[in-house]
Chains A and B, each alone.
Chain A
Amino acid sequence: MNFKIRAAKKDDCKDISRMIMELATYGKMPDEVKISHKELERDGFSSNPFFQCLVAEVPEENKSKEGHTIVGYALYIHTYSTLKGPAVYMEDLYVMPDFRGQGIGKSLMSKVAQLGKEKQCMRLQFAVLDWNTPSLDFYVAKGAQDVTASEGWHFLRFDGEALDKLANEAED
């Protein structure tokens, strides 16, 4: 199947938002999605964007049952590693179920890696749910290491009231 990987445009945000919800539903946490296409438009397409995004597009004749031609996306951020320098964090990688097995996910991820390489990024990081064996297998097959399993890294997070409380204790 023919497909194209390209940088997302502001107009793609409704499709990206749709697919974010699909990915969250797959991850069994749809109620956790609090932002809509409006936040994506504001935060990803200003002069100083918080994130970058690629989309996978198929021709009209291959559109999904619901009529979508945007069938996958990768949302990533330019980050920093104190030890390695510029790095990339891939926040999301998703391909609609009907379009899997055609190399679209691999192409999206490769493009993220390639764009990172152009900015001298030495590391690509992301997160996977421990029960998500198909995804874990996919990533390990591409040469990724599970550094939670191998080195013991844990993600920690402050949000909601805990974040407010922490911030309130800062000196002005």
Chain B
Amino acid sequence: MDFSIRAANLDDCKDIARMITVSRHVCACSRAHLEQDGFSKNPFFHGIIAEVPEQHRTKEGHTKIGYALYFYTYSSWKGRAVYMEDLYVMPEFRGKGIGKALMSKVAQLGLAAGCNQLDFTVLEWNKSSLDFYLSQGCFDVTADLGYHCMRCEGEALQHLAQP
């Protein structure tokens, strides 16, 4: 199946919000927040969109059928890095190389920006995703090196932020 991979623009936020809502099983993802956070002067993230031609659109009429969200980060050991926050392809479009193409694009852009690492997180029970990523050549930093993801939010973060 024909598909194209390109940088996301402001008009794509509606579709990105739609796909986030479905993939993350949340009540609603705010399109306004995505527009503000991703397309202002100092964006927090960048997006890549996977699009199919009209003749392959979904039942509901969507041609934007996958996306990746990423931002630049840093390793104090290796230098510039890129973090892939989201990678998603609508279920009926999987198995066609679209996820791989999105991820490759993030890697290509990262390398062009001087990055030495592409990092992301996956839930350990998500075997199909884990298998997909490992088959592409990444390694499991948590399993292999013992790094645990730690998080501070809500009241704990408020408390910590007290001077």
Contact = CB atoms under 8 A, between A and B. Distances in A.
Q: How large is the interface on A (under 10, 10 to 19, 20 to 34, 35 or more residues)?
A: 35 or more
B137 A143 contact: no
B108 interface: yes
Nearest to B36: A85
Residue from B45, B116, B155, B161 whose CB has the most chain A CB atoms within 10 Å: B161
B118 A163 contact: yes
B72 A163 contact: no
Contact of B140 (A84, A117, A156): A156
Contacts of B117: 157-159, 163
Interface in B119-143: 119-125, 130, 133-134, 136-143
B69 interface: yes
B149 A77 contact: no
A109 interface: yes
Nearest to B103: A166
A38 to B, nearest CB: 10
Contact of A158 (B29, B136, B157, B158): B136
A152 B125 contact: yes
B77 A79 contact: no
Contacts of B108: 167-168, 170
A44 B143 CA distance: 30
Interface string A26-51: 00010011110001000110000011
B136 A80 contact: no
B142 A117 contact: no
Contacts of B130: 154, 156
Nearest to A52: B74
B20 interface: yes
Main secondary structure of the interface of B (DSSP, over half): mixed
Interface in A72-103: 75, 77-86, 89, 91-92
Contact of B86 (A35, A82, A170): A82
Contacts of B152: 113, 123-125, 139, 142-145
B153 interface: yes
Contacts of A43: 74, 79-80
B138 A127 contact: no
B150 A82 contact: no
Contacts of B31: none
Contact of A51 (B29, B74, B120): B74
B149 A80 contact: no
A170 B101 contact: yes
B151 A159 contact: no
Given A125-B149, A167-B104, A169-B104, A153 B157 contact: no
B95 interface: no
Interface string A118-136: 0000111111111100001
Interface of A: 20, 23-24, 29, 32-35, 39, 43-44, 50-51, 75, 77-86, 89, 91-92, 109-110, 113-114, 116-117, 122-131, 136, 139, 142-149, 151-159, 161-171
